[in-house]
Amino acid sequence: MARILGYIAASLDGLIVSGEGSLDWLYGYDDMDLGEHDYRHFLKHIRTVVMGRGTYDFMAKEQSPWPYGDQRVIVVTSRPIDAPKGPLKVCGDLDSLVAELRALDDGDVWMLGGGKLQMAFMERGAIDEIEIYVIPEILGSGLPLFPLTGFRASPTLISATALDKGCVRLHYRM
Residues of the chain with pLDDT under 50: none
Instruction: Give the H/E segment covering residue 100.
Output: helix 94-102
Domain that holds residue 21: 4-173
Per-residue confidence (pLDDT) for residue 21, from 0 to 100: 86
Per-residue confidence (pLDDT) for residue 135, from 0 to 100: 97
pTM over 0.75: yes
Q: Is 14 exposed, middle or buried (0-12, 13-18, 19+ CB in 10 A)?
A: middle
Per-residue confidence (pLDDT) for residue 131, from 0 to 100: 95
Per-residue confidence (pLDDT) for residue 139, from 0 to 100: 97
Quote the distance between the C-alpha of residue 52 and its chain's center. 9
> For 71-110, what is each residue's pLDDT tens digit?
999 999 999 998 898 899 999 999 999 999 999 999 999 9
Per the structure, the count of domains in the chain is 1
Domain with residue 138: its CATH number is 3.40.430.10
Per-residue confidence (pLDDT) for residue 64, from 0 to 100: 87
Can you name the residues that pair with 156 across neighbouring β-strands?
Answer: 173
